[in-house]
Structure 1
């Protein structure tokens, strides 16, 4: 089922994917994601089933009503991977259309496991092994975090 949904999702142009999200979140959306780095300096990336622009990216998701962005990113990483993150620090906040996005850096350990139907795969990557599919912005943030700028 996931593979069929992924194929259909990939066939849709990014604007259509974005519209689908907007139809299910009519006012505005807010999300939080984290660049999670382990003691070996590797970064945790997830292959998301329903990302509008690409498959691989940082763990994270929508912020629940009444939840802080920091609490949301801690919850999302735990719900998606079982990994408990620490040393959570705000890196960047941006708005795009009617979406507010909080990006954090964090520390995490362990292999993790796929605990969400929204996740196809997860892996820890060295900086020179990061898979294709990250946006230029995500790559910039990743490089800044790994360089210790945040």
Structure 2
């Protein structure tokens, strides 16, 4: 079949293109994605949470793994809501990097702000505590990825505050 005949067939029946894609799906590379949010309140304080299941560096940014059919933006919003009950606005992505711990895993860090002030925080069972840190306060030890997200977020905040 010539390329032109194939193009004409696909124009008449565009659904045909999905057949080989679905047949090939089990053989595609599998990549997992995690997303965290560097969330700032109106006072410019950064939210850190203490994770139950991170024994080496329990303090870090809220976030988690991406579900099937979800975008990374949706992931960070869902994880913040599930873990802290906070509604957030994503300002922008800060970093996308390959995980140094897991093969075939990408980590994404976002700069975020609260969508409304004075939201009560309700921690999920996977979190032990939370705390808002001002820019001049020292932070507890963080994983290398979380430390880099925090560094980039604080740098972005210093250059251009995200609150009016």
Aligned pair partner of 1:35 in 33, 38, 42: 38
Q: How much does 1:142 deviate? A: 1.4
What stretches of structure 2 of length at least 5 have no aligned partner?
1-29
Q: How much does 1:28 deviate? A: 4.6
Q: Deviations over 1:61-89 (max 9, x none)?
A: 11110000000100110111111111331
Normalising by structure 2, we get a TM-score of 0.67
Matched, 1:143 2:146: no
Q: How much does 1:140 deviate? A: 3.4
Larger radius of gyration between Structure 1 and Structure 2? 2
What CA distance in whole angstroms lies between the structure 1 residues aligned with 2:39 and 2:31? Answer: 26
How many residues in Structure 1 have an aligned counterpart in Structure 2? 124
What CA distance in whole angstroms lies between the structure 1 residues aligned with 2:33 and 2:93? Answer: 15
What CA distance in whole angstroms lies between the structure 1 residues aligned with 2:121 and 2:138? Answer: 19
State whether residues 93 and 109 of structure 2, in contact with CA within 8 Å, keep that contact through their aligned partners in structure 1.
Answer: yes
What CA distance in whole angstroms lies between the structure 1 residues aligned with 2:41 and 2:121? Answer: 15
Matched, 1:105 2:111: yes
What aligned pairs does 1:43-54 form with structure 2 within 5 A after superposition?
43-51=46-54, 53-54=56-57
What stretches of structure 1 of length at least 5 have no aligned partner?
1-26
State whether residues 114 and 121 of structure 1, in contact with CA within 8 Å, keep that contact through their aligned partners in structure 2.
Answer: no
SS of the aligned residue for 1:86 comes to strand
What CA distance in whole angstroms lies between the structure 1 residues aligned with 2:38 and 2:55? Answer: 19
Normalising by structure 1, we get a TM-score of 0.72
Aligned pair partner of 2:88 in 85, 90, 96: 85
State whether residues 83 and 110 of structure 1, in contact with CA within 8 Å, keep that contact through their aligned partners in structure 2.
Answer: no
What aligned pairs does 1:104-123 form with structure 2 within 5 A after superposition?
104-108=110-114, 109-110=117-118, 112-123=120-131
